Structure formats: C-alpha cells, structure tokens
Chains A and B, each alone.
Chain A
C-alpha cells in the first residue's frame, strides 16, 4: 500500500460515515481519513484505522463505534490499529475541512504557513466566527492534542486551530 492509498469496499462507505470522532462530532471518521482499509471477507469486515495522535483517547471509542454500526448492518467485524503510514492532516477531505470550519475549528494550513503561525506569530489563521485574519496564538496546545488555541483580535472570539501534522 502506498502512503495515501485506501482500500475501502464501496458498500461499507455509507455505514462507516455514520461514525464520528467523539471529540469533534461533526466530523465523520471517513472525512477525518483515519479509516485506512475496510474489506468484507465472508460477511465479516476487517477494518484498519490509524490514530491521529498516539495518545488520542478517541481511538478506543472509534473502534467500538465501528463495530457497533457494522453489527447493526449485519456484519461481524475486527478493528485493528495500524501505525504505518502515519496519519497526516492531508487526509482530511475537503468536506471534512468544511465541517471543521462550520463547527468553529480552523482547518489546518500547509506546513510552512503552520510554522509561521505557531513559531513566528504570523497572523494568517482565519477566525471561524468573523473571518478576520487578525488572530493571535494563545497556546500551542488546545483542548485536545491536535489543536492549538487562538483568539480573534477583531471579534474577540476564542477558537481552536487544527494543527498541521505531516
């Protein structure tokens, strides 16, 4: 398997789309890019997921939720955690990025821009409330390992930014 290739049986896609990240309920695990493969073998499904961050406590819940929805659809399943290739924010789909923004979490920038923001205080992260780029980094670590805290200097809204991970 190459770094970005996924193997997911088409019939399973609508089922797996019902599962969301428990910490970001608007984002399905499919849009998050954590499902790397899902194949049906003799009415049993083998799923491989990869963690966003090593310590992400959501992974256990996601694994259980996947088994639950597949069971409801009539499949027995096995869910394995794989580490290689490592997850990257590039795997979040365009629909996923939009869902993040609508939910109030700024979507990840490209690696270089991300560095400018987190290391050099450059103001380019767009406020999810008013769209202004006059935003300030409050903390490199936010409410979960994958996010940083920002505040908009125009509308004063505090918001999360999903850090670029490559």
Chain B
C-alpha cells in the first residue's frame, strides 16, 4: 500500500470509536434508566457514524476495493489498534461512565488538534465529530459529578471505577510508528502534547465530584500495538458474528 502510514493512522483513531461504540451499544435495552439507556446508545450511534467516515476514507486510501464494513468487521483481534481503555467492560454504570469520561476528555482535545490537520478529509471529519463529542463529554462529566457527589455508595463505586480504569489512561498519549510518520507530515496529532492538560482537566473535575485523583504511576499499554486485554476477543465475537457466520451477507 502506497500510503500505509496514513491508513494505519486512520485505523488507530477510528478503532477507538468503533470499540467504544460497541461497548456503549451493549447498553441498548439495559441502561439503568430509559434516559441513560437512550443517551448511551445515542453516543454509540455518533461514534459509529464517525467510524464510517474514517473507514470510508481508509478504504479509499487502501485502494484495493476493501470497504468500510470489511475494515470494521473482518480483521483479527491483533489487527485492532484501539487503546485498552475503550475495550474495558461495562462492569457497572460507574465503569461505563468512568470509561466514557476518561476517553471523552482526551477525544475532545484530540479532535481540536485534528481539525488543524493538513489532510483536508481528516480535518473535515474532525470538524464534524467535535460537535458531537462535546455533547458526550458534557454527559459523562455530568454523571461523574452526580455519582461522585451523590450517596456514599455511588461515590465509592465511581471512585473504584476511576481507580481501576486509571491504569489505561497513559496509553492515550503514546506515539505509534504511524503517529510519528503522520505528525512529521503535518497530518497527525502529536498526542504527547495533550497529556498535561488532560490530567489537569480530569483531576479538576474529579475534585469537583468529590473524588480522589489516583496516584498510581503504573500504566498498562499494548492496545495500539494490537496486544489487547482479555475482554476484546469477546467483544469482537459479538461485533463480527453476522459477518463471520454469513460471509458477504447484505441487509
């Protein structure tokens, strides 16, 4: 492939939205209340829509006839480039919200930079997505505050979720080979520069929510290289079921 770095770079961005979208979609019909159920599935829908834009573009770059569906549905686990954070399960609602919040703060800052990309398609997609993601970030921050500043039990659950998910946050700011190559061309975002502000914003909101910012310095990584936690395989078996069972199916 002529433009392999750009192709991989786009997959790196889109896989985060795809896997997180699948996780949020799992709550369809299972949200703790009708309103939150609808909110989570709306967020899922936004993310899938964004993924379509990215994968359509990636398909064009690949130039060998592969479609958005092929890219989304027919790769093996090791070929997914999403960060470990987004594949973590919906252990309880606090985990769902914590994962969303820790990703949204990053996602918003990332898209703000991607808008400045010299690649006009990517900057147009970012320009579109950032409007939607600012709603996601409002929703998740609002719930972190509500649960953190709620009852003793909700505070404890929210704190547990943040403590457990914290170990996956540092990976958001690691550069892959595709990142480095595209940053050098003015296309990609140098995520290392987003890190300080990220931890500042997250910590401020946690304080506002009467939650402690974890102090652990031990961070897990691997997702960006395709080395995932045990959860992704199960998620993919759900995601890919139809396409694997009925190859070339159409609606």
A interface residues, Cβ below 8 angstroms from B: 51, 53-57, 83-87, 118-119, 138-145, 149, 163, 165-166
Contacts and interface: CB of A to CB of B under 8 A. Distances in A.
Contacts of B49: 51, 53-56
A55 B50 CA distance: 7
Given A53-B46, A138-B35, A140-B39, A145 B53 contact: no
The 4 closest A-B pairs by CB, nearest first: A55-B49, A54-B49, A84-B124, A139-B35
Given A53-B132, A54-B52, A86-B131, A143 B46 contact: no
Interface in B40-54: 42-43, 45-50, 52-53
A140 B138 contact: yes
A55 B127 contact: no
A142 B132 CA distance: 14
B120 A84 contact: yes
Nearest to B127: A86
A114 B153 CA distance: 33
B21 to A, nearest CB: 9
8 contacts: A54-B128, A55-B46, A83-B128, A84-B123, A84-B128, A87-B128, A119-B138, A140-B138
Contacts of B131: 86, 165-166
A149 B33 CA distance: 14
B191 interface: no
Given A83-B53, A145-B45, A54 B39 contact: no
Nearest to A55: B49
A83 B125 contact: yes
Given A86-B131, A119-B138, A139-B35, A145 B124 contact: no
B42 A145 contact: yes
Contact of B129 (A54, A142, A166): A54
Interface string B49-61: 1101100000000
Interface of B: 35-36, 38-39, 42-43, 45-50, 52-53, 120-121, 123-125, 127-129, 131-132, 135, 138-139, 142
Residue among A138, A140, A144 with the highest chain B CB neighbour number at 10 A: A140
Given A51-B128, A54-B53, 10 more contacts: A55-B47, A55-B50, A83-B53, A86-B128, A87-B128, A139-B39, A140-B135, A145-B42, A149-B38, A163-B135
Nearest to B54: A54
A51 B48 CA distance: 14
Contact of A55 (B35, B45, B138): B45
A145 B132 contact: yes
Contacts of B142: 140
Nearest to B17: A54
A139 B129 contact: no
A48 to B, nearest CB: 13
Nearest to B130: A86
Contacts of A51: 49, 128
Contact of A139 (B38, B120, B124): B38
A54 B124 contact: no
Contacts of A163: 135
Given A84-B124, A139-B38, A140-B39, A55 B48 contact: yes
Given A51-B49, A119-B138, A143 B132 contact: no
A119 B134 CA distance: 12
A143 B138 contact: no
Contacts of B132: 53-54, 145
A84 to B, nearest CB: 4
Nearest to A164: B131
B139 A140 contact: yes
B72 to A, nearest CB: 13
Given A54-B128, A86-B128, A166-B131, A143 B47 contact: no
B203 to A, nearest CB: 20
B38 A143 contact: yes
